[in-house]
């Protein structure tokens, strides 16, 4: 069965700040695999950075969270039950972009590469965060 059609198939994303924690206690965000159509729509959001920079900052935040929650299946080792509407209460803006880009990359790889990714070989860096959003974090302005 294709990964995107199997509701039991998920992959875990461990934030860069949690990479050094023991595997059994690492906080993990669980995502469903995306079909090509879903991935195309998901990727469109982050493609046009100039368009994002023209939007009000709150709109960008809302759209970012919506994109992440649409494909998130849960979380583990977070000290609280999974509640999609609480995502913005447990992560920072940089972590939100880290999750977005991790989900975007992961859904492009095949089943063979899944094991490599889950072993922690692939990491997301802050360089993935659009420059406009990094500036907005420090200035608080859109």
pTM (2 d.p.): 0.73
Phi then psi dihedrals of residue 18, to 5 deg: -105, 0
Q: Is residue 42 part of a domain?
A: yes
pLDDT of 126: 41
Q: Give residue-wise pLDDT tens across range 110-127.
A: 555 555 545 554 444 444
- Print the domain residue range for 24: 9-139
Confirm whether 3 is domain-assigned: no
In a domain, 131, yes or no: yes
Asked if residue 71 is part of any domain, the answer here is yes
How confident is the model over 63-103, as pLDDT tens digits?
Answer: 999 999 999 999 999 999 999 999 999 999 999 999 999 99
Give me the number of domains the chain comprises.
1
Answer whether residue 1 is part of any domain: no
pLDDT over 80 (residue 130): no
């Amino acid at each position: 069965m294709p990964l995107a059609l199997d509701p039991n198939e998920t992959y875990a994303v461990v934030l860069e700040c949690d990479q050094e924690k023991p595997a059994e206690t690492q906080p993990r965000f669980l995502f469903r695999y995306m079909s090509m159509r879903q991935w195309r729509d998901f990727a469109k959001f982050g493609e046009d950075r100039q368009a994002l920079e023209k939007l009000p900052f709150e709109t960008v935040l809302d759209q970012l969270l919506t994109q992440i929650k649409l494909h998130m299946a849960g979380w583990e080792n977070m000290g609280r039950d999974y509640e999609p509407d609480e995502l913005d209460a447990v992560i920072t803006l940089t972590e939100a972009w880290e999750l977005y880009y991790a989900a975007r990359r992961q859904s492009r790889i095949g089943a063979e590469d899944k094991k490599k990714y889950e072993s922690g070989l692939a990491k997301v860096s802050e360089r993935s965060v659009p420059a406009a959003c990094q500036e907005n974090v420090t200035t608080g302005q859109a």
